[in-house]
Chain A
């Protein structure tokens, strides 16, 4: 399958690969997986006191599109507030990387990872936010 130049670029030079200490209170960790392809993705955000994402790191085991999606997402997240980050949709990722239809699920996985990381950060810091229910996410 032909990957777009952007996918290849992120695949060959992935940005922000690595980890933060998941226990740190300013770190949110999102772990997601896709049973259909067996891909696993870990996305971490580091949030400053102003509620802005200062840094992001990822580690993904999966196809080129999954790696490119998570790499791109770490770049998109930096400088965004948590609410702005919540607005990132898989369609933005898929468009930016020109993903073919069969690879859309990789961008969905990346979107899920963003949400999981933010939810983790918020539940750790018990932040109130619209549509966020601490009891529900703790279950």
Chain B
């Protein structure tokens, strides 16, 4: 059995290395692999073979988790491309200013206990994230522009932070 370091997460599930993937195929391949690797199937094998199956099963879990999440999937693709000296352009002042405004709006709504405003922000953010993910998909899949992808990914991290800030505020007001 090969070690997984020789292969990549996408190959493991028989997927092309693209950001846009068929979640259903991923899920199916995952289940298929895990059933093949299940300890019960290897009970009659040598101890070494059983250990390899167990290791591989752990790696399949890691791979599945990585590919299911858009952020880690993008990270994985950029790493696979192996472009050396790749450094994302710094975040633009416009982007950072918009981040400031988002944070201000969330904080204001939190202080005011304004659930309606927080819900509206949450909706707006969802829309933003879906656009961001589309941009990321086109940078990776259509343009193979990994520097741009790195930048889009960095921006996506800020949106994740906004998501957790909004959710925290809503949780807090819920109590």
Contacts and interface: CB of A to CB of B under 8 A. Distances in A.
Interface string A42-68: 100000000000000001010000000
Interface residues of A, number: 12
Given A31-B97, A61-B100, A38 B154 contact: no
A35 B96 CA distance: 11
Contacts, number: 37
A20 to B, nearest CB: 14
Contacts of B103: 40, 61
B52 interface: no
B17 to A, nearest CB: 23
A31 B158 contact: no
A115 to B, nearest CB: 11
B144 to A, nearest CB: 22
A57 to B, nearest CB: 13
Question: Interface on chain B toward A: helix, strand, loop, or mixed SS?
Answer: helix
Contacts of A33: 91, 95-96, 99, 158
Interface residues of B, number: 17
Contacts of B58: none
- Per DSSP, are chain A's interface residues mostly helix, strand or loop, or mixed? strand
B162 to A, nearest CB: 7
A36 interface: yes
B100 A38 contact: no
Interface of B: 91, 93, 95-97, 99-100, 103, 107, 153-155, 157-158, 160-162
Interface of A: 29, 31-33, 35-38, 40, 42, 59, 61
